[in-house]
Amino acid sequence: MKALILVGGYGTRLRPLTLTVPKPLVEFCNKPILLHQVENLAKAGVDHVILAVSYMSEVLEREMRLQEQRLGIRISLSHEQEPLGTAGPLALARELLTDNDEPFFVLNSDVICDFPFEDMLKFHTHHGKEGSIVVTKVEEPSKYGVVVYEGETGRIHRFVEKPQVFVSNKINAGMYIFSPSMLNRIQLRPTSIEKEIFPIMAKEGHLYAMELQGFWMDIGQPKDFLTGMSMYLQSVRVQNPEKLCTGPGFLGNVLVDPTAVIGENCTIGPNVTLGAGVVLEDGVRIKRCTVLKGARIRSHSWLESCIVGWSSSVGQWVRMENVTVLGEDVIVNDELYLNGANVLPHKSISESVPEPRIIM
Amino acid sequence: MLKAVILIGGPQKGTRFRPLSFEVPKPLFPVAGVPMLQHHIEACAKVPGMKEIILIGFYQPNDALSRYLSSAQQEFKILVRYLQEFAPLGTGGGLYHFRDQILSGGPSAFFLMNADVCSEFPLLEMLRFHRDHGDVHCAVVLATTANRKQSLNYGCIVESQKTHEVLHFVEKPATFVSDIINCGIYLFTPEIFTHIGMVFQRNQEEKLYSGCSWYRAEVIHLEQDVFTSLAGQQQLYVYKTQGFWSQIKSAGSAIYASRLYLNQYLQTHPERLVSSQEGGCTVNGNVFIHPTALIDPTAVVSVLLGPNVSIGKGVCIGAGVRVRESIILHGASLQDHCCVLNSIVGWDSTIGKWARVEGTPSDPNPNDPFAKINSETLFRDGGLTPSITILGCNVNIPSEVIIRNSIVLPHKDLSRSFKNQIIL
């Protein structure tokens, strides 16, 4: 089976991290975002993954070749030279997607959840129509586009974008499965799948909704990245608790790479991920944070709701909070206070940032 | 024989020092580890021939003041007395009212100083200057240089370059007059009382003729009422000092004054400073630690103090604590890993683990040698002016929060972070 992952472009919402690393390769809970999806696709029987990119990255190409070998599947890159929207990339990859008449998956690259690929295949085969969309229940549906569908069959009636009054609390979760004939609906030009393709498919009775069980998050921006991390770690606690770190000094769900080094009298968690080679010196208090590979947090510092970029160094007695994001190789001097600071790579911070702002 | 008079004010004065002045009279507030007044008294006691120090103010006699005075007397082997004004009489009124006491014993001259100044107290140099210049009956005003803009906040002195006579004196002018400013430290001969007496008489007559009952005739302002008329009469001379000087009006200026005095200790009281080698905590710059303060013995080296830190009696400091540019008052407790910057932590307060208590320094521009500390208003542009964070006495800060640019009144338990606020 095949899958197309809509990777897109520069990942600007996840800057400053994506200024040095292509978004698919940014580690989410110690594994590149893309790999969470690809590994699960491979497990569900997909043997060819196509990455639809609008910005070509050598780093991404190199990494995918490694993963091809490791997972024993084929990974291709489909590069759109001009922006094709959310449906255009499917038309671009038509050749690759239609060499047999099996259905194919399409995923939004920012989605994290308990991937239900096997269930999606079953559901899609059962109703036999052209398309299936995974939907998920959210608390604030009017921030998104909601899906109105028949509860019993899943047949979709219509979509409503950011409704003012309550219509439904199910939104498009960014995961689809289509029959190859669906590609006849899409031309090779900038096309929005939600606005132009889906409404027609729904009217013709060719679009069905499958409700997702379990957690779901679009981790395309730092605030949601951290929320998604907390949800994912909770799911790890349920399914593979041995992967998490427990013991004195650890609270709640904490994921620590085996090569990370932790000092004395630290209190870590809940909801913390420490990447490879990360060093926490004595007396560090850290909660609801991701610390990426090679970063160092010096003694007595206090961090909450932060992302610390690769190889960064946070000084002693620093306080960081409120979705402070440090890009790669950032140095934060001792004793500073960072509140919602968004710091670009290779920057040295020598003054406190008491109110949220971007540091270039 | 010489005497010294120190004006210590009263509770209605020093409101910019709240909430710290709720607990202790401002002149007794510890600056560089000892009460503010002690720096004055130590300087006076060093002058040969100094026989008595008289404090004038309108605080009601209280335990703290009386206890301090008797201990000062014992320690410095000099007579120290407190004379209480019956009402606030201004910078000259109390002086005049108690003139008989000041002149008893026949001192040849006496110093007058304000309690709320921080200075090198070049008293011997002022005496020498007095002997070398002008008439033996003159008065000497200690002065320093300010920058043009800030000079408007002080008493401004126009000086004769040749004779060092004060040609003109004006208190807080609206427009620039001179960058030589009055330090609030003077050397007088008994003749000064003749001049003050004339002002007193004039005030009495005015009151009689004006018929205002609320106008207190005994109130005399030395600067406005006496100096301005003495200027240009060959009676008033100015001695300019290069030494450090600052007013201590606000809590922020107490931290700045601490820094100046701690630096002076290098020469005058090196035993009051902590050095890093003692096998104790790590120290940057000048730090005062009271001998009864206790630092976590299992992790002493992880504690980093200074520069410009004063730790009071019986303070407890946990592992991994950081204190910089701050005053920690008696009995306070700083728990593990907390960080205190540009703050004053009140008596018996507690700061929880990993908490951050931080203020904004209000120091004068270090690039301007004549800049003085600003007397900022409490509010600016509708918000609290960023300033030193002050915790009143017995304030409890929970762990892991941040208290920034805030003032917390005494006996308060906080439950969350606060920024740029006064917490009642």
Long-range contacts of A295-303 (CB under 8 A, 24+ apart): A295/A326, A298/A334, A299/A263, A299/B302, A299/B320, A300/B302, A300/B320, A300/B322, A300/B337, A300/B339, A300/B354, A302/B337, A302/B354, A302/B356, A302/B400
B281-323: pLDDT as tens digits:
899 999 999 999 999 988 888 999 989 999 999 999 999 999 9
- Nearest Cα of chain B lies from the Cα of A220 at a distance, in angstroms, of 29
Residues of A in contact with B398 (CB under 8 A): none
Least confident residue range of A9-13, A48-52, B79-83, B96-100: A9-13
What is the per-residue pLDDT across B75-88, written as a single tens digit (0 to 9) for each? 998 999 999 998 88
- Tell me the pairing of strands B139-145 and B236-240: parallel
Q: Is A241 on the interface with B (CB under 8 A)?
A: no
**Per residue in B387-422, pLDDT tens?**
899 999 999 999 999 999 999 999 999 999 999 999
- Answer with the residue of higher pLDDT: A304 or A360: A304
* pLDDT tens sequence across B134-156: 556 679 999 999 998 899 999 99
- Per-residue confidence (pLDDT) for residue B211, from 0 to 100: 66
Residues 332-391 of B with CB under 8 A from A: 336-337, 339, 341, 353-354, 356, 358
Residues above pLDDT 70, as percent of chain A: 100
Is the alpha carbon torsion for B272, B275, B281, B285 positive or negative?
positive
* pLDDT for the residue numbered A175: 97
Query: Chain A residues with CB inside 8 Å of B358's CB?
Result: 337
Token pair 């006849």 is found at: A184
Kindly tell me if the per-residue pLDDT of B131 is higher than 90.
no
Q: Say whether A162 is catalytic.
A: yes
Q: What is the DSSP string of A88-125?
A: HHHHHTHHHHTSSSS-EEEEETTEEE---HHHHHHHHH
* Res. B202 pLDDT band, cuts 50 70 90: confident
Residue B214: what pLDDT? 63
| Nearest CB to B322 within list A265, A317, A321 | A317
Return phi, psi of residue B274, to 5°: -90, 140
Q: Pick from B360, B364, B365: which is nearest to B341 by CA?
A: B360
Confidence band for B250, pLDDT divided at 50, 70 and 90: confident
The answer to whether A52 and A93 are in contact (CB under 8 A) is yes
What's the whole-number average pLDDT of chain B? 91
Separation CA A118–CA A175 (nearest Å)? 13
* β partners of residue A326: A308, A343
**Range from A207-216, B36-45, B198-207, B404-413 carrying the lowest mean pLDDT:** B198-207
Q: How far is A104 from chain B (nearest CA, A)?
A: 50
pLDDT given at position A107: 96
Show Cβ contacts of residue B6 under 8 Å, excluding neighbours closer than 6 positions: B27, B37, B40, B41, B53, B54, B55, B56, B112, B113, B114, B115
Q: Which residue of B has its CA nearest to A317?
A: B339
DSSP assignment letter at A224? H
Over residues B328-338, mean pLDDT: 97
Cβ neighbours of residue A87 under 8 Å, at least 6 residues apart? Answer: A186, A191, A192, A193, A196, A197
pLDDT tens by residue, A334-353: 999 999 999 999 999 999 99
Burial bucket for residue B213 (CB in 10 Å: 0-12, 13-18, 19+): exposed
A201-232 as b/e: b if 16+ CB within 10 A: bbeeebbbbbbbeebbbbbbbbebbbbbbbbb
| Mean pLDDT value across residues B76-104 | 91
pLDDT per residue over A96-142, tens digit each?
A: 998 888 999 999 999 999 999 999 999 999 999 999 999 999 988 88
Edge-to-edge strands, sheet with B294-295: B294-295, B316-317, B333-334, B350-351, B396-397
* Token representation of residue B186: 């003077």
What separation in angstroms does the CA of B282 have from each of A333, B265, B279, B358?
18, 19, 9, 20
DSSP track, A254-300: EEE-TT-EE-TT-EE-SSEEE-TT-EE-TT-EEESEEE-TT-EE-TT
Instruction: Say whether residue B259 is in contact with chain A using an 8 A CB cutoff.
Output: no
Q: Nearest by CB to A285, which of B304, B354, B404?
A: B354
Task: Give the best residue of B300, B337, B356 to mutate against chain A (max A CB count within 10 A).
Answer: B337
Using a CB cutoff of 8 Å and minimum separation of 24, what contacts does A288-293 make?
A: A288/A226, A288/A229, A288/A230, A289/A226, A290/A27, A290/A28, A290/A29, A290/A225, A290/A226, A290/A229, A292/A17, A292/A27, A293/A27, A293/A257
List, in sequence order, every residue forming a beta bridge with B171; answer none if it has no partner: B155
Q: How far apart are CA B153 and CA B135, in angstroms?
A: 30
Does A335 contact B402 at a Cβ distance shorter than 8 Å?
A: no
CA–CA distance, B290 with A50 (Å, rounded to integer):
70
Q: How many CA atoms lie within 13 A of A134 on its CB side?
A: 28
Mean pLDDT value of segment B15-25: 84
Q: How many CB pairs under 8 A join A and B?
A: 47
Output the pLDDT for position B277: 65
- Mean pLDDT, rounded, for A204-212: 96
Question: Which of B181, B334, B305, B307 lies closest to B245 in space, CA to CA?
Answer: B181
Mean pLDDT of the region A144-159: 91
- Of the ranges A91-105, A331-345, B12-26, which is most confident? A331-345
So what's the pLDDT on residue B54? 96
Alpha-carbon gap, residue B194 to B381, rounded angstroms: 48
pLDDT at B256 over 80: yes
The whole-number average pLDDT for the span A30-58 is 93
Write out the two tokens for B202: 């004039």
Answer whether A12's CB lies under 8 Å from A342's CB.
no
pLDDT for residue B279 is more than 70: no
Which of B142, B166, B133 shows the shortest CA–CA distance to B245? B142
Please tell me the predicted confidence (pLDDT) of residue B344: 97
3-state secondary structure of A233: helix
Sequence-ordered list of residues with C-beta below 8 angstroms from that of A147, at least 6 positions apart, any chain: A133, A135, A156, A159, A168, A170, A171, A172, A209
pLDDT at B232: 86
How crowded is the C-beta side of B239, counted as CA atoms within 13 Å?
26
Task: Please report residues of B whose CB lies closer than 8 A to that of A300.
Answer: 302, 320, 322, 337, 339, 354
Lowest mean pLDDT among A82-86, A157-161, B131-135: B131-135
The label of the residue with tokens 């002058």 reads B47
Task: Check A162, A195, A243, A287 and give the catalytic one.
Answer: A162
Please tell me the distance from the alpha carbon of residue B167 to that of residue B316, in angstroms, as a whole number.
Answer: 54
CB-CB under 8 Å, B324 with A283: no
Report whether pLDDT(A242) > 80.
yes
- Cα distance between residue A310 and residue A267, in whole Å: 22
SS3 B259: helix
Mean pLDDT estimate for chain A = 94
- Give the confidence band of B4 by pLDDT, cuts at 50, 70, 90: very high
| Closest of B113, B95, B82 to residue B194, by C-alpha | B95
**In A100-253, beta strands by DSSP E:** 104-108, 111-113, 131-137, 145-149, 156-161, 170-178, 207-211, 216-218
ipTM for the complex?
Answer: 0.83
Task: Give Cα separations from B400 to A251, A336, B150, B351, B418 (angstroms).
Answer: 15, 15, 40, 9, 12
CA distance A78 to A92: 7
A95 versus B380: the higher-pLDDT residue is A95
> Nearest residue of A to residue B321 by CA position?
A300
Average pLDDT over residues A181-202: 92
pLDDT tens, A227-241?
999 999 999 999 999
Say what the pLDDT of residue B78 is.
92
Check A299 against B419: CB less than 8 A apart. no
Interacting residues of B267 by C-beta distance below 8 A, sequence separation 6+: none
